[in-house]
Structure 1
Amino acid sequence: MTPYAARTRPRSPTMPESASTPAVQGSTTDRLVDLALRGAIGAAMAMPYPRRVAFFGGVARRVAGPLAGYRRRALENLALVRPDWPEAERRNVAEGALDNFGRTLIENYSWRELGTRLATTPLTGGGLPHLEEARARGRPVLFLTGHFGNHEAPRHVLTRLGCRVGGLYREMSNPYVNAHYAATMAEVSGPAFPKGRRGTLGFVRHLAGGGMATILFDLHDWDGVPIPFLGRPALTATTAADLALRYDALLLPYWGIRQPDGLSFDTVLEEPIPHGTPLAMMEEATRRLEARVAAHPGQWFWVHRRWKGAPPQ
């Protein structure tokens, strides 16, 4: 889930008004990073949408990614799990991941225009009949996805179809960036809740009341269980499975798969993950994500420290 901090509606294609005076405190470095990001976003927002998205992909690939150490970390992760790939192939995938990251970031700041482009995008996959049945019964629905393609694209389509989708998210470490990035996502769909005691309580109440919500499950979690991901153990939270079992929620993976034009998406709602043990459910969720990464390796965010702290293979 993307960060969320305010209910102020941003006015695309400019920065949200609430971002101008964030009630947050951070370091001088945080402030400088935020100012640089604002400058890049401001320049991009003055461009036509297709050029804007391509421009920000290039910024992430050529400038921000290398300077922030993202390219190096992506290459290290690729060498860890794909040592059999030629170095040129790993570099190509890392470049694709940075490009996708930049495109996704500016798309989510441009959420009105992204929604317009998705206005005729169908929701495919075997999960739609199950979703409709759950809606008719008032059964809670928990969507599951990862940092792959643009994870907000399916939420736009679901919102167009009449769903109100909330979510649980992990706040960014830079409070200034978190404040305005969060505000851009405030009005896309349903409420979102920061990870933590109060946020999780609100999320649980939303779900228990028959609501719909999303969890991104592909982040490292020190309290998680080791589950093989791309051939290496990765500590994975069982939160999604625990909640689905506790509240009898339908657990549906979805994906926003970027197409070759770099601007459009396939939005796929997969068959539900059957209820079982939390471990078995998250193993199945991980296999679903692995299949997507295998088909489109450059669309997963290889920058995450996904395999830290896991037991040896």
Structure 2
Amino acid sequence: MGVSNAQSFTPRDWLTDRAARGLIGLARTMPYRWRVPMMGWLMRRVVGPATGARGRALANLAHIWPDMPDDRAARIATAVLDNTGRTLIENYSTAGLLARAKSWEPSGPGLAALADARAAGRPVLLITGHFGNYEAARAALTVRGYSIGGLYRPMNNGYFNQHYVTTMEGFGGPVFPRGPKGVGGFVKHLRSGGQGVLLIDQYFAAGELLDYLGQPAPTSLSAAEMALKYDALLIPFYARRKENGLDFDVTLEAPVAHGDTRAMTQALNDSLSARVRETPEQWFWVHRRWKPGRQARYFSKPTDD
């Protein structure tokens, strides 16, 4: 989640959205256990290569691991596209995902910390990235009585964004768009003792240059800033896809200690980096996380100092 973009409503956006709606609608006519692998297959074999997503994944892998053998990078990119397709249709299959989430037992030291905070009425910020299926982690907590709000970056395609938001709302807890009004609503939810989720792994041009997977990546400090301002726990949490392709291991790590906002945010980056290094196939390498060319232009501008 990054800074909010101006949305587009061009004829091309409309056509793209209609194609997406048709594909999602067709998939949803199938049983859940079939539609999920079908969308994975379609993304890795057709959509990913045709849209350039596979090329972006390979370019990002080369940026981080330039010495990786080509065949290894190709296998990771294929698995990434498969996971992306599965995640898309899972998030448009709210009832099915929530039903399966009842069998996923969350674990990790952050689970007790989350329960204690809820009992005390203390706000909690749950931090994750585009790893496995980020909504699966929220679903596993939702079916256990938590009402987890979210702050999201609106999609550039305004037509697509209209139903994309509806899917997020279906997982329980209010969701708010980036921007003054949305952030205000998110903060109100936190201050009432609620829980909120933030994703920290998208390019944020006005952010701080912090390390992510060994390379500088502009990163927002807002999660750490809100944690300090509202005395919220800061808990990294993840949903790692299991080998059956349909279920997840949900883990809540120990809360990040309050302190300097840069150090807190770097700790969050390091947490996610460790997950990605362990299972690179499950992170969304299709995102333009680093944009080295843009970084060179933006961060080389002279300052007033």
* 1:84 alignment partner, one of 67, 79, 85: 67
SS in 2 for 1:124: coil
1:62-121 Cα deviation digits (max 9, x unpaired): 111111111111111111111111011111111111111100000010011011111121
Paired with 1:266 and 1:88, the residues of 2 have a C-alpha distance of 28
Paired with 2:102 and 2:117, the residues of 1 have a C-alpha distance of 24
Contact 2:27 2:35 in 1 (8 A): yes
Contact 1:108 1:184 in 2 (8 A): yes
Paired with 2:249 and 2:119, the residues of 1 have a C-alpha distance of 26
* 1:138 alignment partner, one of 106, 117, 121: 121
Alignment correspondent of 1:160? 143
Paired with 1:251 and 1:221, the residues of 2 have a C-alpha distance of 20
* 1:72 alignment partner, one of 55, 58, 80: 55
User: How is 1:1-313 mapped onto 2 (pairs within 5 angstroms)?
Assistant: 26-308=9-291, 309-310=294-295
Paired with 2:8 and 2:219, the residues of 1 have a C-alpha distance of 31
TM-score, scaled to structure 1:
0.90
Shift of 1:205: 1.4
Paired with 2:25 and 2:146, the residues of 1 have a C-alpha distance of 31
Contact 2:101 2:143 in 1 (8 A): no
Contact 1:168 1:200 in 2 (8 A): yes
Shift of 1:209: 1.9
Shift of 1:277: 0.5
Shift of 1:226: 0.7
Paired with 1:232 and 1:197, the residues of 2 have a C-alpha distance of 31
Identity of aligned residues (%): 49
Deviant stretches of 4+, over 4 Å: none
Q: Which runs of 5+ in 2 are unaligned?
A: 2-6, 300-305
Paired with 1:249 and 1:185, the residues of 2 have a C-alpha distance of 23
Shift of 1:25: 7.1
RMSD between superposed Cα atoms in Å: 1.4
Paired with 2:141 and 2:219, the residues of 1 have a C-alpha distance of 26
Tell me whether 275-284 or 152-161 shows the greater mean CA deviation: 152-161
Contact 1:75 1:91 in 2 (8 A): yes
Paired with 1:254 and 1:247, the residues of 2 have a C-alpha distance of 20
Contact 2:152 2:176 in 1 (8 A): yes
Contact 1:226 1:310 in 2 (8 A): no
